[in-house]
Amino acid sequence: MHMTVERVSYLHERKIDELMHTIRHSFRPDIHSEAQIIRKAISIVRRGTFLSTWCESDGSAMEATLVDDGEAIDVKIAFPETELTCSCEESEWCEHKISIVFYLYSRFQSLTEWQHDWQRREVEQMALSISERTPKAWNSALYRLTKPLREMDSNESPNVFIHEASLLDQKVIPLSPFEYEWKPLFELFYRMHLIDSAWEYLRMQLEEINHFTYRQWQVQTWLNEQISKLRSQVQALGRNPRPFETDAFYDALKIDFPGLVLGHKGLFEARLDIYSILWDFLYRDQTSKEKELASLREHDSADAPFFAAYFYLTQGDDESLKIVAEKAGGELLDHWLPLADKAAEMEEYEALSIIMNTIFPHISSFFKSIKNSNEGYHFIRKIDGLLEEAAFTEEKREELFMLYGSAGVDTFGDFLIERKRFAEWAALMHRFNVPYDGIDPNTLKFVLSNDSAAVMPLLHTYAMRFIEEKNRHSYRRAVRLFKNMKAGAKKSGKADFWNRYIDTVREQFKRLRALSEEMEKGNLNL
């Protein structure tokens, strides 16, 4: 009789249950490497990667061939001894041996329910330890909970990272205190642990990769969401009075919080956001703020002076900020620019001026290090906006535009138009050979209505380019340009000049019949 997998699982159901019990107690869900083996074995079963299965006619053994990372693996289980063998020759319990046990188990029980029950052990153990309401117990349990993110390979897909993080969000729910007034504080502890555990992965994804892709967008969005949730918890805590029982937790936060912002490298803007969220919340009185400032002065981190600069910024102490700026120098634009944004947001324009003067000599070299053209465009816009708010002279701002080259044409063009320097704007378009379609139609209309003479040579160049394309569609575009020029000439009272000009163009291209027809339809003479 032909023996099926279902029949084998039925004959040896008790033995398979024993194997599942052994697996349950051999692998801990809170140890990332062990949890990975279980997840991979379950994935093998769910993806259907078993290429073939063969069973002994008496049901005493089953062999299977599966695919793992493109390699064919042979695995066998024999009864009643429940002896397992695998061609990978790895450990006693490799994912392939586990997967064949899972495969048989799934024929008579729910593998998903078993997985949830196995993972519940971890949560139950943490819930037991976290029931002791102390900062040490909370930190210990949350460190264990977030350990999978700490151990994640930096090359792992963002999809896997976000999935792992979402699993943690589910696992933390049963750990949250029952009392409403304790929930925001626990959530604050959790978010800090979550961000801390993910930091190295975030930094590798967002700073070590030179181009911004959808993968990086996913990771950046996740980080922004965590910072937003951190801000929400702080706001919720700030609205309610603090019970005296929570004093120990706030003291612990003051100890742990600097480790989150100073103990990590990279992503300074995100760290500054976290610092600014927790600054006023944790250091409410001037004495505690001064104590934190003294701690920053003694800290050996290269980033500590920039957090001290934030302290001086919030206190309106421009003299101390200036001293920090002189000592730190302006090379680290990625550190100073977030501080400049904070100064602009707080309308501390003297502080903003100090920061922008500090970084001004280094803007050009920093700009040259930017590889992505879109990032370069936004950088130029950002810098010019900050220089304007810091009341820098127009000569200083133009000095930078000369260094940006073609990348700064859009921003420099807006700068010139705002000052009604239309002839210089037209010359800029000429110099960098900006195509007609690269100019905003509203901008062109505005320049024409204000100084048609300044833009006439530029429009003439574009019209000639359209004519050179020698097709009717381009001829029509040229005629539309001529109409714009005609309106400008009429407004400026240069009818004679315009008629001579358009007659000369008509004579020059009289052999182009289609163009002549389009110009005739356009009624271009005044």
Structure tokens at 422: 């239309």
Give per-residue pLDDT as tens, 445-478. Answer: 888 888 888 888 999 999 999 999 989 999 999 9
Q: What are phi and psi of 434, to 5 degrees?
A: -70, 125
pLDDT value for 126 = 65
pLDDT value for 259 = 82
Of 506, 486, 487, give the one whose Cα is nearest residue 498. 486
Q: Has residue 1 got a pLDDT over 60?
A: no
Q: Has residue 201 got a pLDDT over 80?
A: yes
Answer left, alpha or beta for residue 405, where phi above 0 means left and psi between -120 and 50 means alpha: left
Q: Which residues, other chains included, contact 518 with Cβ-Cβ below 8 Å and sequence gap of 6+?
A: 472, 475, 476, 478, 479
pLDDT value for 229 = 94
137-151: average pLDDT: 86
55-83: average pLDDT: 85
Q: Which residues, other chains included, contact 526 with Cβ-Cβ below 8 Å and sequence gap of 6+?
A: 486, 489, 490, 495, 498, 499
Confidence class of residue 239 from pLDDT cuts 50, 70 and 90? confident
Query: In the beta sheet, which residues pair with residue 63?
Result: 54, 76
CA pair distance 252, 186, nearest whole angstrom: 12
DSSP secondary structure string for all residues of 23-64: HHHHS-TTSHHHHHHHHHHHHHHHHT-EEEEEE-TTSSEEEE
428-439: average pLDDT: 91
Structure tokens at 488: 């400008």
- Range scoring the smallest mean pLDDT among 30-44, 94-108, 386-400, 429-443: 30-44
Structure tokens at 336: 């100073």
Query: In the beta sheet, which residues pair with residue 55?
Result: 62
Q: Has residue 19 got a pLDDT over 70?
A: yes
Q: What are phi and psi of 70, to 5 degrees?
A: 80, 0
Q: What are phi and psi of 315, to 5 degrees?
A: -90, -5
Percent of the chain with pLDDT over 70: 96
More reliable by pLDDT, 214 or 471: 471
pLDDT value for 321 = 95
pLDDT value for 2 = 61
More reliable by pLDDT, 417 or 445: 417
How do the residues of the chain divide into helix, strand and coil, expressed in percent and rounded to 5? 75, 5, 20
DSSP secondary structure string for all residues of 228-241: HHHHHHHHHHHHSP
Q: Which of 92-101, 243-252, 327-336 has the highest mean pLDDT?
A: 327-336
CA pair distance 111, 108, nearest whole angstrom: 9
Helices (H), 208-315: 214-239, 247-262, 268-282, 286-298, 304-315
Work out the angle between the directed axes of helices 183-207 and 158-171 (0-180°, nearest 10). 170
Q: What are phi and psi of 128, to 5 degrees?
A: -65, -45
pLDDT value for 123 = 64
- What three-state secondary structure class fits 392? coil
Residue that the structure tokens 């392939």 belong to: 96
pLDDT value for 83 = 86
Percent of the chain with pLDDT over 90: 39
pLDDT value for 129 = 57
Give per-residue pLDDT as tens, 252-275. Answer: 888 888 888 888 999 999 999 999
The Cα-based distances of 242 to 109, 175, 183, 250, 480 in angstroms read 49, 21, 13, 10, 70
6-11: average pLDDT: 84
Asked whether the beta carbons of 114 and 45 are under 8 A apart, the reply is no
CA pair distance 54, 41, nearest whole angstrom: 19
pLDDT value for 308 = 92
Sheet order of strands, 50-55 included: 50-55, 61-68, 71-78, 83-86
Give per-residue pLDDT as tens, 47-68. Answer: 777 777 888 888 888 888 887 7
Structure tokens at 97: 């041996």
CA pair distance 450, 442, nearest whole angstrom: 12
